[in-house]
Amino acid sequence: MTFPNGKDDLMSFEVSIRPDEGYYLGGTFLFSFQVSPIYPHEAPKVKCKTKVYHPNIDLEGNVCLNILREDWKPVLNINTIIYGLYHLFTEPNYEDPLNHDAAAVLRDNPKMFESNVRRAMTGGYVGQSFFPRCI
């Protein structure tokens, strides 16, 4: 966890996630968190700053995670969100996609999905999109 705006802004921070299993093994993915003044009554705004080929994260970094939207409850916390993000990398969900192309490939051809993830993580093109190296 880092605080890019310094110790005077603890409501804005970044978290790196490094999956130790699954399709994204070995990658490092950076997420920015913006915590609202009315937290915990409103979920933090979370964006993925690492461009990633993933069914639940679009190419602009928007994240599809239920606890960041309709399933947020004030009893949840930052740690719960980090665990949820980690879970997206170990168990990507093609049934609730933001990146519909990646979701369709995961659903219909998991071997091709795995190949696309590796190509993206090592720095390369998947379709028309270039992904910087994150491994």
Is the peptide bond prior to 40 cis by the omega test (within 30 degrees of 0)? yes
**To 10 degrees, the CA torsion angle through 63, 79, 35, 5?**
-100
Which residue in the list 64, 68, 81, 117 is annotated as catalytic? 64
Determine whether 134 is an active site residue. no
Ordered strands of the 29-34 beta sheet: 12-17, 29-34, 45-48
Q: What angle do CA 42, 14, 83 make, to 5 degrees?
A: 65
Name the residue among 87, 83, 1, 78 with its Cα closest to residue 35: 78
Note the helical H segments in 26-99: 78-90
Active-site residue numbers?
64
